[in-house]
Structures are given as C-alpha cells and as structure tokens.
C-alpha cells in the first residue's frame, strides 16, 4: 500500500463495501459473448439458406428465423453494456463494429439487400448500448458521490462515525488485534462559546488535517485510521503494532501535533485532548464495548485533570463511570423532585396491617427503574443520601398524614434513615418540621436505622435517638443480624423494633441452625423489650415457622410487595372495612 493515501484507501474500501450493486458474475459475461457469437453466426447461415421447413402444412423458409437470432444477439450486447460496466460496453461495441463490415459485405459485394436492415439494426444497437452505458455511468457517479458523503465528515473531510463503525465491525469480524482510541478535545465548548462556531470549525479542520497527515503518511509507524465521530470527538483505530508501548507511542504523536500553535482569526491558540483506549480483543470483544470502554477511559482522563492525557481502559473505570452516571441521575431526580417512594405493608401474625415502610424509588430520564440497592450506596458515597432520605420522608409523610386523617387507621409509617442524615445537626428539627406540616402524629412514625451504621457511631447515634424517643417517635433496628452488635450495646439501645434481615429468613426452613438463630434473635429481642419483625418473607411455610417461634410481625412479598401510594390507600380502606 502506498503510504500517502492510507486513510483515504481505508475509506475507499469502506465505500466499496457499501456498494449497493453486487458485481455481475464473470461466467455471465463469457456466456453473453458466446451467445452473441453463436447468434451472429446463425444469422449469417440462416440468411443464406434456401432451405424450408413445413409448419402446419405451410412452407417456412429458414432465413425467416434470422431475425429471431439477431434479436437474441442484440439482447446479449445490451446486457453486456448494462451489467458489465466499462468492460461490457467496450466488448459489446467491438463485437458490433466487427460485425458491421460483414453485414456491409453482404449488401455491397454479394448485393444482398436483405442484409440492409441488419446495418440499421447494428447502428441502433450501438446507439442503445452507448446511451445505456452513459446513463449507467451517471447513476454510478451519483451513487458513488452519495456513498462518499455517507462515510465522510462534511466539515473536515475525515471519515465519519458511520465509516468508523463499519471499519471497526469489519476488524472485529476479522479477529486481528487493534486499538480503539476515543479522543475528545479539551475545553472545546469554551472555545466555541468565546470565539464562535466559525472559529471552532477552523480549529477542528486544523486538528483534523494534522492528524490526517500522520495517518496518511504513516508517520506513527503503525497503520492508523482517524475519523471524526461528532462535534469535538474523534476516533483513532491503530493496527500493525506489537506492544502496548507502540499504541502509546502512536497516540503520543497525535497528541504532540496539538502542541503546535493554531492561529485562527489572528488569535493564537493551544489545544489539547483526552485520549482513552481499549484494545481488541483483550479489553473488549465487541464493537459496542470497545467504544464504551475507550470512552470510559477518555472520560476518566478528563475527570482526573492529570497531566497525562492518555489512559487505557481498566474494569475499575466502569464502576467509577456508573457511580458518576448514577450520581447525575440522583442530582437530577432531586432537582426535579422526581424521586418517589413505594410503600411496603407490614402485618402482624394474624395478617392485620401494622403499617408501611417507605422505600425510595428512582427512574432515569428513559423511564428505567434504578434499584435503591444501587443508588442508595452511591448517594451515601457522594453525600446525597440525606437529601434522598428527606425527600422520601417528606413526600411519604404528606401522603400518610392525609391517609390517617381520611381513614382514621391505627398504622405506622417507617422511614429509612442513613447515618449521615442522622448525624446532621438539624436532623431532629427537620423531622419535627415534617411531622408538623404533614400532620403525622409522632407515635405513628418509625425511624429505621441499620445495625451496622449504629455500631460505627454509637454515641452520636444514641444522642439523636434519645431525642427522637423523647418526642414519641419509634425506632427500628434494620437489617438486624448482618452487623456485629454486642448484647450490651443492644441493651443500651432504646429501640422499639428489631427487623431480622432477609438473609436469615431465606435459610430458616432449610437450615436448622438458621431457624435456631432466628428463634434466638426473637427471644433476645423480647427479653430486651423489643418487638420483632421478619423481613423478606416470601413463602407461607416461613409464616408458619415464624408463628411457632414467636415472631411479632411480617414484611415480605408473601403478604405484600412495595406498592404505589394509591394501592396502599386501597389496602388501608379495605382493611378498615373488614
């Protein structure tokens, strides 16, 4: 391959692969020539023949079949010109031109005027194939132009996203190793905002031409394909390398050319970019993953603001990416107040409603649910959990206050509170304020605190809890059994309710020790003056066992899943009726 057209050649191949029309087979071409020659020879034999055959008693001279054979030959040349491009057209032309003197000979030398229509026929066929050929040329040129536009970025002339994805798909199919580099120009939005779109476009053009120069001239020592996929995002595909060092070296060269000044509208500018890459097949083995992983690495470069602008993908980046993505969604849900809640019913052992636990729910912009198991830990990590707790509490309390006023039901609302929230200085005031605005009586509110959280910060937690207790609010210890509470600590803890974690309930009917463990928790809880509720009860057999070992309440799919507030209201109304 000539070095100076590498990028273009790869693009050219992509265009050809997009060709809508498949090449007609060579055998067809040969057969058309053979049929044409046989047809022409048959015409001249038949034209000279004086023989006759009899058809239904009528004499039919052989030469009258010459016209049929002549039409067959003409169709053959027409097909050639139509389906075999330049080669077909010129073959057809040569065949017709060779045949013409033979026809002329018939007229002038042998004085056979029957050959005269043959001359006109030949001429008309030449005109027909020439116009078919010219027309075909025009259509092909137009199609090529369209195909070229489909794979070319109009602004920079580089291959576009479509061309890039076609190439990457073909490389993945082939199975050879290659590196997919996702590139984003740093601070480009700022350039566009301050200098305007025209200047922004000029800068993109300048960057594109510098990079194209490296790719076209094989300066990097690897086989590169550079494309612009959108705005200020480019993708570089690197092939023909040995080690990771070679990839890094190539990327560095693309980075280095950015260090030279760019002058736009008399203003000197220096730009830089972030490069993230993933290698096929080691980091990712599908087109989508390659793109996503390289992007994850590139975004990490942007975020880290480190002086090293090149990063290879590692699986840890995905977690960071997901955390950031979820953080964005939480912030959005908090801002738009779209964060909502479900209510999961709790019952006593006679299936009488005790109350509801409010559970946070979040949907993303596409309407997909994100599980609290995923977003609550993120909210905790990034310091948003107090805001989440507060929004769920506020919304649920407003509904619950109204429900109590409407139905007069004697039920409790349980809300989950994170340690971060609990430790806030204004936590107690916030609870009191919500109780006031919602009209929920303090003794109808229960605050769930997870066991592990309390162990970490027991003294501060106890202070808050004492305040809550004094106000008449109930306290539940959530997920009990998963932490490492000591009995003395439990004894100091002024809770009302122990919530046995689902993991023990799950094993209770299959493992004797789990059943004994649950039974022991219930006994200890009762000894300390707590009520005990089992979480995550899914089967009727579990209810029976829990009755036998003296559990007080049940919360689980077996008697009620988390539901929307209107369904919870219906449940309360039905409960009150009967």
| Sole binder of ligand C2E in the list 43, 235, 376, 551 (CB under 6 A) | 376
Cβ at position 1, least distance to ligand C2E in Å = 57
Between 73 and 485, CB nearer to Mg ion: 485
Q: Which residues pair with 533 in a beta bridge?
A: 499, 553
Report if residue 212 touches Mg ion, rule: CB under 5 A.
Answer: no
- Told to check if 300 binds Mg ion by CB under 5 A, we report no
The answer to the question of residue 448 lying near Mg ion (CB under 5 A) is yes
Sign of torsion over alpha carbons 131, 134, 140, 143: negative
Q: What distance in Å separates the CA atoms of residue 473 and residue 431, rounded to the nearest whole number?
A: 10
Binding mask 470-489 for Mg ion (x = CB under 5 A): --------xx----------
Phi, psi of 61 (to 5 degrees): -70, 145
**The binder of ligand C2E chosen from 556, 568, 571, 572 (CB under 6 A):** 556
Among 73, 416, 438, 542, which residue sits at the site for ligand C2E (rule: CB under 6 A)?
416
CB 441 to ligand C2E: min, Å: 21
Q: Which is nearer to ligand C2E, 171 or 397 (CB)?
A: 397
Cβ proximity to ligand C2E, 184 vs 479, nearer residue = 479
Candidates 39, 88, 525, 562; binder of ligand C2E (CB under 6 A) is 562
C-alpha span between 575 and 563 (Å, rounded): 16
Residue count at the site for Mg ion (CB under 5 A)?
Answer: 5
Strands 553-555 and 340-348: antiparallel
Encode 306-335: b = buried (16+ Cβ within 10 Å), e = exposed. eeebbbbbeeebeeebebbebbebbeebbe
Q: Locate tokens 């044409």: which residue? A: 36
Which stretch of DSSP H or E encloses residue 370? strand 369-370
User: Which of 388/477 has CB closer to ligand C2E?
Assistant: 388
CB nearer to ligand C2E: pick between 185 and 417: 417
Please state, in angstroms and rounded to a whole number, the distance separating the CA atoms of residues 357 and 446: 9
Q: Between 224 and 389, whose beta carbon lies closer to ligand C2E?
A: 389
- Alpha-helix residue ranges (DSSP H) falling in 408-456: 419-422, 427-438, 451-456
- Determine contact, residues 280/178, Cβ cutoff 8 Å: yes
Site string for ligand C2E, 502-541 (x = CB under 6 A): ---------------------------------xxxx---
> Burial, 9: exposed, middle or buried (Cβ in 10 Å; 0-12, 13-18, 19+)?
middle
Interacting residues with Mg ion between 397 and 426 (CB under 5 A): 416
Return the one option of ligand C2E, Mg ion, none that residue 538 interacts with (CB less than 5 to 8 A, by type): ligand C2E
Identify whether 124 is preceded by a cis peptide bond (ω within 30 of 0). Answer: no
Instruction: For the CB of residue 431, give the shortest distance to ligand C2E in the complex, in Å.
Output: 14
Site for ligand C2E contains 388 (CB under 6 A): yes
User: According to the binding rule CB under 6 A, does residue 392 interact with ligand C2E?
Assistant: yes
CA distance 162 to 253: 25
Q: 374 is in the binding site of which of Mg ion, ligand C2E, none (Cβ under 5 to 8 A by kind)?
A: none
Nearer residue to Mg ion within complex by CB, 312 or 499: 499
344 binds ligand C2E (CB under 6 A): yes
Is the Cβ of residue 233 or residue 332 nearer to ligand C2E in the bound state?
332
**Which one of residues 258, 326, 360, 449 is an interface residue with ligand C2E (CB under 6 A)?**
360
Buried b (16+ CB within 10 A) or exposed e, 416-425: bbbbbbbebe
Window contacting ligand C2E (CB under 6 A); options: 107-115, 210-218, 330-338, 371-379: 371-379
Counting contacts by CB under 6 A, is residue 291 touching ligand C2E? no
Local structure of residue 84 (DSSP, 8 states) = S
Q: Is 451 a residue that touches Mg ion (CB under 5 A)?
A: no
CB of 357 to ligand C2E, least distance (A): 6
What residues numbered 423-452 form the site for ligand C2E, per CB under 6 A? 448
Residue 531 CA to residue 495 CA, distance in Å, equals 9
**Binding flag, residue 545, ligand C2E (CB under 6 A):** no
Q: How far is the CB of 339 from ligand C2E (least distance, A)?
A: 9
CA atoms within 13 A on the CB side of 274: 22
Is residue 64 within 8 Å of 58, Cβ to Cβ? no
- Listed residue (556, 506, 509, 553) closest to 531, CA to CA: 553
- Cα-based angle 247, 148, 298 (whole degrees, multiple of 5): 30
Residue 568 CA from chain centroid, whole number? 36
Assign 271 to helix, strand or coil: coil
Residues in the interface with ligand C2E (CB under 6 A) total 24
For ligand C2E, the binding residue among 373, 486, 510, 578 (CB under 6 A) is 373
Which of 224, 478, 552, 569 lies at the binding interface for ligand C2E (CB under 6 A)? 478
Stretch that binds ligand C2E, among 9-17, 33-41, 250-258, 365-373 (CB under 6 A): 365-373
Instruction: Please count the CA atoms within 13 angstroms of the CA of 540 that sit on its side-chain side.
Output: 0
Within 10 A of 89 (CB to CB), how many other CB atoms are there?
21
Query: Is residue 283 within the footprint of ligand C2E (CB under 6 A)?
Result: no
Where on the chain is the footprint of Mg ion (CB under 5 A)?
A: 416, 448, 478-479, 535
Where on the chain is the footprint of ligand C2E (CB under 6 A)?
A: 344, 359-360, 371-373, 376, 385, 388-389, 392, 416, 418, 448, 478-479, 535-538, 555-557, 562
């Amino acid at each position: 391959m000539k070095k100076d057209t590498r990028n273009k050649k790869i693009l050219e191949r992509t265009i050809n692969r997009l060709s809508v029309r498949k090449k007609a087979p060579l055998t067809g071409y040969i057969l058309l020539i053979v049929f044409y020659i046989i047809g022409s020879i048959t015409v001249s034999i038949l034209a000279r023949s004086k023989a006759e055959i009899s058809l239904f008693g009528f004499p039919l001279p052989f030469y009258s079949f010459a016209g049929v054979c002549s039409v067959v030959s003409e169709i053959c040349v027409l097909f050639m010109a139509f389906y075999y491009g330049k080669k077909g057209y010129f073959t057809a032309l040569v065949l017709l031109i060779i045949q013409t003197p033979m026809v002329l000979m018939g007229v002038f030398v042998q004085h056979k005027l029957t050959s005269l229509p043959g001359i006109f026929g030949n001429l008309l066929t030449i005109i027909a194939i020439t116009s078919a050929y010219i027309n075909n040329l025009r259509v092909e040129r137009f199609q090529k132009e369209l195909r070229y536009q489909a794979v070319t970025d109009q602004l920079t002339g580089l291959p576009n996203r479509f061309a890039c994805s076609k190439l990457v798909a073909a490389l993945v199919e082939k199975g050879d190793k290659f590196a997919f580099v996702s590139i984003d120009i740093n601070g480009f939005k700022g350039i566009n905002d301050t200098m305007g779109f025209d200047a922004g476009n000029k800068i993109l053009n300048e960057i594109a031409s510098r990079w194209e120069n490296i790719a076209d001239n094989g300066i990097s020592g690897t086989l590169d394909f550079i494309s612009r996929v959108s705005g200020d995002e480019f993708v570089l595909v690197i092939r023909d390398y040995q080690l990771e060092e070679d990839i890094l070296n190539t990327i560095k060269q693309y980075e280095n050319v950015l260090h030279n000044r760019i002058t736009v509208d008399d203003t000197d500018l220096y730009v830089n970019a972030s490069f993230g890459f993933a290698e096929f097949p080691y980091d990712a083995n599908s087109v989508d993953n390659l793109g996503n992983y390289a992007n994850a690495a590139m975004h990490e470069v942007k975020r880290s603001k480190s002086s090293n602008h090149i990063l290879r993908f590692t699986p840890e980046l995905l977690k960071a990416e997901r955390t950031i993505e979820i953080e964005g969604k939480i912030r959005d849900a908090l801002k738009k107040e779209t964060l909502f809640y479900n209510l999961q019913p709790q019952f006593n052992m006679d299936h009488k409603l005790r109350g509801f636990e409010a559970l946070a729910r979040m949907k993303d912009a596409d309407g997909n649910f994100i599980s609290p198991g995923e977003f609550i830990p993120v909210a905790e990590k990034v310091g948003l959990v107090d805001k989440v707790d507060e929004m769920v509490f506020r919304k649920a309390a407003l509904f619950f206050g109204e429900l109590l006023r409407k139905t007069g039901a004697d039920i409790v609302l349980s809300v989950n509170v994170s340690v971060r929230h609990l430790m806030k200085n204004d936590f107690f005031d916030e609870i009191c304020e919500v109780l006031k605005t919602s009209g929920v009586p303090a003794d109808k509110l229960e605050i769930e605190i997870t066991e592990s959280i309390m162990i970490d910060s027991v003294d501060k937690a106890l202070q808050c809890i004492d305040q809550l207790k004094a106000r008449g609010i109930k306290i539940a210890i959530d997920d009990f059994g998963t932490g490492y509470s000591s009995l003395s600590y439990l004894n100091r803890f002024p809770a009302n309710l122990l919530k046995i974690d689902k993991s023990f309930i799950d094993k209770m009917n299959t493992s004797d020790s789990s059943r004994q463990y649950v039974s022991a928790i219930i006994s200890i809880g009762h000894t300390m003056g707590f009520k005990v509720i089992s979480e995550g009860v899914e089967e009727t057999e579990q209810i029976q066992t829990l009755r036998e070992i003296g559990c007080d309440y049940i919360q689980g799919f077996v008697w009620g899943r988390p539901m929307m507030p209107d369904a919870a209201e219906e449940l309360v109304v039905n409960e009150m009726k009967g």
